[in-house]
Amino acid sequence: MNKPNQNSIIILYDKEKDKKHILNLATLPEKYSTANGIIAKEKILNTDFGGRIETHLGYEYILLPATLYDFIMKKLNRLTQIVYPKDAAYIILRLDIKPGDVVIESGIGSGAMSAVFAQIVGEQGKLISYEKRQEFIDNALKNLKRFNLLDRIEIKHRDIAEGFDEKDVDAVFIDVKEPWLYLENAIKPLKNGKLIAVLVPTTNQVSVVLKEMERLPLIDIEVSEILQRFWKTNPDRLRPYDTMSAHTAFLIFARKINY
Amino acid sequence: MNKPNQNSIIILYDKEKDKKHILNLATLPEKYSTANGIIAKEKILNTDFGGRIETHLGYEYILLPATLYDFIMKKLNRLTQIVYPKDAAYIILRLDIKPGDVVIESGIGSGAMSAVFAQIVGEQGKLISYEKRQEFIDNALKNLKRFNLLDRIEIKHRDIAEGFDEKDVDAVFIDVKEPWLYLENAIKPLKNGKLIAVLVPTTNQVSVVLKEMERLPLIDIEVSEILQRFWKTNPDRLRPYDTMSAHTAFLIFARKINY
Amino acid sequence: MNKPNQNSIIILYDKEKDKKHILNLATLPEKYSTANGIIAKEKILNTDFGGRIETHLGYEYILLPATLYDFIMKKLNRLTQIVYPKDAAYIILRLDIKPGDVVIESGIGSGAMSAVFAQIVGEQGKLISYEKRQEFIDNALKNLKRFNLLDRIEIKHRDIAEGFDEKDVDAVFIDVKEPWLYLENAIKPLKNGKLIAVLVPTTNQVSVVLKEMERLPLIDIEVSEILQRFWKTNPDRLRPYDTMSAHTAFLIFARKINY
Amino acid sequence: MNKPNQNSIIILYDKEKDKKHILNLATLPEKYSTANGIIAKEKILNTDFGGRIETHLGYEYILLPATLYDFIMKKLNRLTQIVYPKDAAYIILRLDIKPGDVVIESGIGSGAMSAVFAQIVGEQGKLISYEKRQEFIDNALKNLKRFNLLDRIEIKHRDIAEGFDEKDVDAVFIDVKEPWLYLENAIKPLKNGKLIAVLVPTTNQVSVVLKEMERLPLIDIEVSEILQRFWKTNPDRLRPYDTMSAHTAFLIFARKINY
């Protein structure tokens, strides 16, 4: 048996329309109204994951546990461009993020990358997120709370021009408009030998970041972009979808040395 | 201060040639011979990460901590195609792997994906790896031991046609030649509502996997491929490298339901 | 001076909205109504290409000659998927099409590829287009007439299962649902040593075509796909557009031998 | 019957090694030595295209007519980066090149793009190629002569800073290091409403070209890059090749207006 509990984030999956409705049981009303009839919260709590739930009109949904991926793609309230899963995942691996790590990011954006960092560092780890705009903090907080990740995130309402408080963190991630202005500050809290990642959407920004990095004690610089192409799932007519995302961002990684 | 210890995996980075030499201090001789002279292990243990180390001939290396990424790309002894970081990272995120998770994979290959799973599930988590070829097990063991990840990996020398022992695992990853033969078995140990990932290099295999998936209690199927394009780091002549990897594998994800 | 004539295909380019309106002067009414006011045909005939034309309401358009590219992308009435310029162009070069060449294609689709073949073979060359569906012929004829290319195209209303009439043509292009059924017929009219191209959207089709090609006197087989990524034109924020076409078709080329 | 003549460019195709040897019969010795034995020129002249030719040692080649594509990819002597077929083909279509057109290019490079222009404009058309380095002219001349395209090409040994002689040409193509310096000159010979193409390898160059284009009477600007991915031809294990070209150049197109 694997049932949701009062704090679960669940999916009601509409198989017919291939559509996912992501819900937080903690805030769900006792009678939840779908477009196809009402479902009692009680009923959801008594159904195994992977099982069917019918509305009072007999419309069928499948109950699934929501993954962080579902949450980012379908439920996150976006005030900004988000870091996409293909990029977020590579950033995690390339920055060598592990359970227990302490990571700094700035800014918080809509909280997508924050959520991924928080999930991977786990309960023993910590994400410190610097953000200067209160509206972004408020929105991201709401997003991260929904996915029960707030316990391991500390948000600092601060302009990073003023510097960072931490020392000896395992990784730093910078996703702001003019990252070159803050790079010198951003590598100070980083352990020697560890990596910083910078995400920018334009080639002009890549050039300025690279120029600034040349000036700083950073080596082993990598610039890349990641493209993901989704394919249709008809086995007899296998082919990619007609369109794809052509660009999200350029990813820049560098390693801090001590001289 | 952030120095290596007797068990650290370190990089001697040759900045001039932009080349990384990855070493395990646990097995390093007291006098290590580089192509440019000798370095005493003692000297490495007494140098901060991010610092310079000179050989007895005065050639300079930079001491860095090795990341899992470095290890996979530069040090893994390969008997098979490996799962590349761009793919491995996305698999982690898409399968919703977290610290503490229990994951099954088959086969073990050269241990690249195993290493990533093991790093992310952490000390509280566990990877069970099924593999029928002893030579792959031996090689992967050696690889994983080098990176100090063996404590959280259990290897089972077994043909998965005979089924899996586990129950209620958080994710399953299948990377074998004819995955369709084992899918029915492979989803049995999986918690309801959780995801399986299948990796195959050819479109013919994608088609057969999709056909088999249609027959099984699996929904929400996704097929994609990920391309990573690296760029040269000259800020004044910014452009991609001339060549790139054109293909590693197709990634297929599906979610288990209970009917 | 470079003015349109009574048969010109022209563009009224709305610079403000970056939108092209493609018009055939041969069929344009004396008073043409735009969304922003009326333009007299007379006025168009008396304006140099590259010059401004105002409607009676003072809205400004720029008069431009329409290229075949404009025509295919903006004006072609589509009953089918068209062959996109990136693919059509490569097919021309790979099939070695030159002025004066005689080319066979089947089917005619909406006439996009036909138009490109017709333009490149020129007045001395010829395109013979086999098509079994009358509605496609009617639509393509209308499209090709609009761009004044009909003089060098011969359309045959025929199922290619019945074979081809020609001998010693310079190139053959096959764009039908089950090309493998007709390949043996399709290479008969082709000069020895010359090339056939096959266009298919799915990998299943690629596999069957390749299998059939192995059986036939064809060598030097090439399979590829072409991706075009458009970039935004802001020099200070240079980056690709957010989305792109992920797939149009796989292109297969082979060369006929005589044994 | 379709035999080579004294001026044919032919391929001896080594099927076993999938290798093409491109030869110009005009300059071929009476006894041609392959790596696998001698072939008499006489024998080549008496063999139909698509037929077998054996060396005196019994090694088999297939006789094929060389296409322009073969010539560019296998035979062109390269002193510079060439314009690749995927790009060259799109440039032809996007610039709307037709038989009979008059086209200007600068520089001549190794003559790859020149050859494509020359083939498509045909005998009635003309390519005028400006190049300031004598060594490039000499090399390109040799290349173009080999493929019998010199009759329709005029080469001008000139720095384009001095301007162009022509008027009312159908298209202009610029492939030089600092194209922004010459754009104002380069559009002068162009018919109003017609297109110019600029090819550059770096994003920095794209930005400067775009800035200069904003200043000039140019509209309808397009920037793109074209990627071609080749697939292996095994129908039962269909998949892309492992590596691909990641970048050749950015292609910029714009249209001239008269104010």
The model's pLDDT over C178-225, given as tens digits with 9 standing for 90+, comes to: 999 999 999 999 999 999 999 999 999 999 999 999 999 999 999 999
Cα D24 from Cα A16, distance rounded (Å): 64
Report whether A240 contacts A232 (CB < 8 A).
Answer: yes
In terms of domains, do A138 and A16 share one?
A: no
Q: Of A47, A66, A85, which residue constitutes the final position of a domain?
A: A66
Helix, strand or coil, per DSSP, at residue B214: helix
Residue A1 pLDDT grade (very low, low, confident, very high; cuts 50, 70, 90): low
Classify strands C153-157 and C126-131 as parallel, antiparallel or unpaired: parallel
pLDDT for position A212: 98
What residues form DSSP beta bridges with C174?
A: C106, C198
Report whether A2 contacts A49 (CB < 8 A).
Answer: yes
In terms of domains, do C92 and C45 share one?
A: no
pLDDT for position B146: 86
User: At CA A67, angle to CA A42 and CA B149, rounded to 5?
Assistant: 130
Quick check: is A183 in a domain?
yes
pLDDT for position B41: 97
Cα D242 from Cα B84, distance rounded (Å): 13
Contacts of C224 in chain D (CB under 8 A): 228-231
pLDDT higher than 90, residue C1: no
Type of residue numbered B181: L
In terms of domains, do B124 and B207 share one?
A: yes
pLDDT higher than 90, residue B143: yes
Helix, strand or coil, per DSSP, at residue B175: coil
Query: How high does pLDDT run on average in chain A?
Result: 96
pLDDT higher than 80, residue D259: yes
pLDDT for position A148: 87
Does C101 carry a binding-site annotation? no
Tell me the backbone φ, ψ of residue D114, rounded to 5 degrees.
-55, -45
Of A73, A177, A185, residue with least CA distance to A132? A177
Query: Closest to B236 (Cβ–Cβ): which among D204, D246, D247?
Result: D204
Quick check: is D129 in a domain?
yes
DSSP assignment letter at A77:
P
Quick check: is A233 in a domain?
yes
Cα C31 from Cα C20, distance rounded (Å): 19
Residue-wise DSSP of B220-237: EEEEEEEEEEEE---TTS
Q: From the CA of A80, how many Å to the nearest CA of chain D?
A: 26
Helix, strand or coil, per DSSP, at residue C189: coil
Could you tell me the end-to-end alpha-carbon distance of chain C, in angstroms, rounded to an integer?
56
Cα A240 from Cα C11, distance rounded (Å): 34
Total length of chain B? 259
Helix, strand or coil, per DSSP, at residue C49: coil
DSSP assignment letter at C240:
B
Cα D210 from Cα D219, distance rounded (Å): 11
Number of domains in chain C: 2
Residue D56 sits in a domain whose CATH number is 3.10.330.20
Cα B177 from Cα B133, distance rounded (Å): 13
pLDDT for position C87: 98
Cα A19 from Cα A35, distance rounded (Å): 12
Quick check: is C19 in a domain?
yes
Cα A134 from Cα A138, distance rounded (Å): 6
In terms of domains, do B158 and B251 share one?
A: yes
Quick check: is B1 in a domain?
no
Residue C175's H or E segment, with its range, is: none
Cα B74 from Cα B68, distance rounded (Å): 10
D69 part of contact set with chain C, CB < 8 Å? yes
Q: Please, how many CA atoms are within 13 Å of residue D4, restricted to the half-sphere of its CB?
A: 28
In terms of domains, do D133 and D217 share one?
A: yes
CB contact under 8 A, C2 and D228: no
In terms of domains, do B60 and B91 share one?
A: no
Q: Give, to the nearest 10 degrees, the angle between helix D85-94 and helix D112-121.
A: 40
Of C155, C70, C67, C164, residue with least CA distance to C111? C155
B52 part of contact set with chain A, CB < 8 Å? yes
Tell me the backbone φ, ψ of residue B40, rounded to 5 degrees.
-75, 135
Mutation for testing the C interface, residue in B207, B224, B238 having most C CBs under 10 Å = B207
pLDDT for position A67: 97
In terms of domains, do B136 and B45 share one?
A: no
B41 part of contact set with chain A, CB < 8 Å? no
- Find the closest chain C residue to D206 by CA distance: C235
Percent of chain B with pLDDT over 70: 100
Binding positions of A are 131, 159, 175
Contact partners, residue C72, CB within 8 Å, separation at least 6: C82, C85, C88, C112, C115, C116
Total length of chain D? 259
Query: What is the token pair recorded at C141?
Result: 């004829």
Cα C208 from Cα A41, distance rounded (Å): 52
In terms of domains, do B128 and B230 share one?
A: yes
Burial A84-100 (b: 16+ CB within 10 A, else e): bbbbbbbbbbbbbbbbe
Q: Of C46, C66, C86, which residue constitutes the final position of a domain?
A: C66
In terms of domains, do B55 and B111 share one?
A: no
Environment class of residue B165 by beta-carbon count within 10 Å: exposed (0-12), middle (13-18) or buried (19+)? exposed
pLDDT higher than 70, residue B34: yes
Cα D70 from Cα B65, distance rounded (Å): 49
CB contact under 8 A, A246 and C247: no
Residue B197 sits in a domain whose CATH number is 3.40.50.150
Range of the domain at A193: 70-256
pLDDT for position D146: 86
Q: Which of B62-71, B183-192, C144-153 has the lowest mean pLDDT?
A: C144-153
In terms of domains, do A14 and A94 share one?
A: no
Does B151 carry a binding-site annotation? no
Report whether B129 contacts B154 (CB < 8 A).
Answer: yes
In terms of domains, do B147 and B173 share one?
A: yes
Quick check: is C2 in a domain?
no
Query: What is the token pair recorded at B53?
Result: 């180390």
Could you tell me the end-to-end alpha-carbon distance of chain B, in angstroms, rounded to an integer?
56
Type of residue numbered A203: T
Contacts of A124 in chain B (CB under 8 A): 99
Report whether D125 contacts D151 (CB < 8 A).
Answer: no
Q: In this predicted model, what pLDDT tens digit does every residue of B173-214 receive, in sequence order?
A: 999 999 999 999 999 999 999 999 999 999 999 999 999 999
| Rounded average pLDDT over B53-64 | 97
pLDDT higher than 80, residue D1: no
pLDDT higher than 80, residue C227: yes
Residue A165's H or E segment, with its range, is: none
Q: In this predicted model, what pLDDT tens digit does every residue of B73-104 receive, in sequence order?
A: 998 999 999 999 999 999 999 999 999 999 99
Quick check: is C96 in a domain?
yes
Total length of chain C? 259
Q: Of C48, C66, C84, which residue constitutes the final position of a domain?
A: C66
Contacts of B206 in chain C (CB under 8 A): 203
Could you tell me the end-to-end alpha-carbon distance of chain D, in angstroms, rounded to an integer?
57
Environment class of residue C236 by beta-carbon count within 10 Å: exposed (0-12), middle (13-18) or buried (19+)? exposed
Q: From the CA of A229, how many Å to the nearest CA of chain D?
A: 13
Cα C140 from Cα D126, distance rounded (Å): 31
In terms of domains, do A174 and A78 share one?
A: yes
Q: From the CA of C257, how many Å to the nearest CA of chain D?
A: 4
Does C170 carry a binding-site annotation? no
Quick check: is B154 in a domain?
yes
